[in-house]
Amino acid sequence: MASAVLVKTLGLKKYYEVRSKFLKRIVGYVKAVDGIDMEIRKGETLGLVGESGSGKSTLGLVLAKLIEPTDGRYMFSGIDITWKLPRALRGKIRIVFQDPYSALNPRLKIKESLVEPLTSQGFDKKEAVERAVEYLKLVGLSDEHLEVYPHMLSGGQRQRVVIARALITEPEFMILDEPTSMLDVSTQAQILELLKDIKAKKNLTYLFITHNLAVARYISDTIAIMFAGQIMEIANKSTIFTNPLHPYTKSLLSAYPPPDPTFRWLPEIPEGIGNAYDRYEHGCRYAERCSLRRDVCLKLVPELIEVEKGHSVRCHLYIKK
Query: Domains in the chain, start-ordered, CATH in brackets?
Result: 5-92+171-232 (3.40.50.300)
The model's pTM: 0.91
Summarize pLDDT for 68-126 with one digit per residue, the tens.
999 999 999 999 999 999 988 888 999 999 888 888 999 999 999 999 888 887 788 88
291 burial type by CB count under 10 A (0-12 exposed, 13-18 middle, 19+ buried): exposed
Query: At residue 2, does pLDDT exceed 80?
Result: no
Query: At residue 185, does pLDDT exceed 80?
Result: yes
Mean pLDDT for the chain overall: 89
pLDDT at position 208 is 97
Distance in angstroms (rounded) separating the CA atoms of residues 266 and 246: 19
Distance in angstroms (rounded) separating the CA atoms of residues 248 and 87: 41
List phi, psi (to 5°) of 58: -65, -40
Q: Which of 218, 252, 205 is nearest to 39 (CA)?
A: 205
pLDDT at position 265 is 67
Summarize pLDDT for 189-203 with one digit per residue, the tens.
999 999 999 999 999
For the sheet containing 5-19, what is the strand order?
26-41, 5-19, 71-76, 79-80
The residue type at 227: F
Q: Highest mean pLDDT range out of 122-126, 213-217, 270-274? A: 213-217
Distance in angstroms (rounded) separating the CA atoms of residues 71 and 74: 10
Distance in angstroms (rounded) separating the CA atoms of residues 71 and 35: 8
